[in-house]
Structure 1
Amino acid sequence: MRKIALITGATSGIGKATAIALASCGHNVIITGRRGERLEELAEEIKVKHKAEALPLAFDVRNNEEVVEAFKSLPDRWKSIDVLINNAGLAAGMDTIQDGKLEDWEQMIDTNVKGLLYVSKQVMPLMIERGEGHIVNISSVAGKETYPKGNVYCATKHAVEAITKGMRIDLNPYGIKVSEVCPGMVETEFSVVRLKDADANNKVYKGLKPLLAEDVAETIVFIVTRPKHVSIADVLIFPNSQASSTIAKREL
């Protein structure tokens, strides 16, 4: 019997790659995001290419009412969620703290912290009732270090790390695993969104080979397919060129 995995932020990048990877290794998937058309296309791809079931749910994790309604709409057979991948997140802007834009701060806090909590709030009772489950929170090296002009984004990812540790403690009596994955440089829409620049990736990753979304997805699959007695708590994953949030070897 196939397990069920729910992946937030599945319309692109790590979320999309993870949905495909989990479908390929025996999971049926609930894929969520704001861009409904992309979700429908991904669901069809998963059904045709990977012979798995895929249920698209379009909602904004920042809006708790939308989150609640989306989960109310789940058919009963989709409510036995075995794996939750809290992937939805973003960085907005690259300003010093004194020049930061309020709308950027709110977007990051509402998505990276509150959105993760809103979705988890709906899934955790289902896992507790069944006495099993696995939650994987996608954080960042920014949750381990603070770097120049990273201020509020780093704060949100530090919060994800603290929430993950708190989840692991509070859900331990129910046999629920809680993991955190912290990628370094990954070539996705991340930098394009952060810098509001369509050519951002060519600038940010110039002279080095960043991770691909598939590299992170492969790591997530490894984590959630360990034996029941094995729980991988925390993974920090870099491209070989990267040594820390601010140090990377570039061939220029």
Structure 2
Amino acid sequence: MRPDHPIVLITGASSGFGAATARLLAAQGCHLALGARRVERVQALADELAKAHGIRTFAGAVDTRHTASVDTFVAEAAEALGGLHVLVANAGLASGTFKLWETPDEDLEAMMRTNVEGVVKTIRAGLPHLRKAGWGHIFFIGSVAGHQAYEGGGVYCASKHGVKAMAQSLRLEVCGEPIRVTSVDPGLAETEFSNVRLKDDSKAKAVYQGMTPLSGGDVAECIRWCLALPDHVNIDELIVKPTDQGSAFKVHRKA
């Protein structure tokens, strides 16, 4: 049975989609377990939201590339908050714009271990708590790159195609249980994503010049809406792009 105030675990909650989702769901009365490698950021956010909305929060360090880190974070969050109902497997990144044969091991491993392995580890650790609670919702954060490949994004696109496949597989595997599975797949969104990918703030800013990108809050609203729907409704896949973006590689830019 759906609780009045679900307990939501979010990875990658220190910025971008994760932080925006935490803010929006806190305003809805959800209790929050926030994790990221930058633990000081999630701790500050957790403290702020607990004070502003009177919710219970837990903040912890988590590196989703490492099984022990994920298992510890999820277990401590569930113990501190009395269980878990919702998982938002948000931690992810792009690193570089290399042609496939030029991709350094460091960037290859960062994307595949975070975007694919990290999602598996988060769900593997969190799902037993949702089953114990008797009601749950799992969110994958995919990308339009999981639907369309583009030059200079081979490994990142592969990782997001992997996210799409995992979401579709899990949807089948938990069918019949009171657990919904949703993949939210954004297009161009102005967060720290391009700063991390390009390692150059001026180049990152240029990605969004002449067009209006999505914000973290826009993607958070998609998550809030899917979560709020009646229990018999499951949004399997939600592709969301800014109006100025027609595809992964077609963007209208004003002069």
Which of 175, 194, 212 is the matching residue for 1:191? 194
State yes or no: 1:62 paired with 2:59: no
CA–CA distance in 2 between the matches of 1:200 and 1:100? Answer: 19
Which of 157, 168, 178 is the matching residue for 2:171? 168
Which of 42, 54, 75 is the matching residue for 1:51? 54
State yes or no: 1:94 paired with 2:88: no
What is the alpha-carbon root mean square deviation over aligned residues?
1.2
CA–CA distance in 1 between the matches of 2:16 and 2:133? Answer: 31
Residues 79 and 48 of structure 1: CA distance in aligned 2, closer, same or farther (over 3 Å):
closer
Map residues 201-216 of structure 1 onto 2, 5 A cutoff.
201-216=204-219
CA–CA distance in 1 between the matches of 2:215 and 2:74? Answer: 31
Which of 6, 17, 34 is the matching residue for 2:20? 17
Deviation at 1:75, TM superposition (A): 5.3
CA–CA distance in 2 between the matches of 1:176 and 1:227? Answer: 12
Gaps of 5+ in 2: none
Q: Is the 8 A contact 1:113 1:160 kept in 2?
A: yes
Amino acid at match of 1:118: K
Find runs of 4+ consecutive structure 1 residues off by over 6 angstroms.
none
**TM-score, normalising length: structure 2:** 0.95
Map residues 93-112 of structure 1 onto 2, 5 A cutoff.
93-112=96-115
Gaps of 5+ in 1: none
State yes or no: 1:38 paired with 2:41: yes
Q: Is the 8 A contact 1:8 1:32 kept in 2?
A: yes
Residues 250 and 229 of structure 1: CA distance in aligned 2, closer, same or farther (over 3 Å):
same
**TM-score, normalising length: structure 1:** 0.97
Deviation at 1:217, TM superposition (A): 0.4
Q: How many aligned positions are there?
A: 252
State yes or no: 1:81 paired with 2:84: yes
Identity of aligned residues (%): 38
Which of 146, 156, 159 is the matching residue for 2:159? 156
Q: Which residue of the partner structure matches residue 239 of structure 2?
A: 236
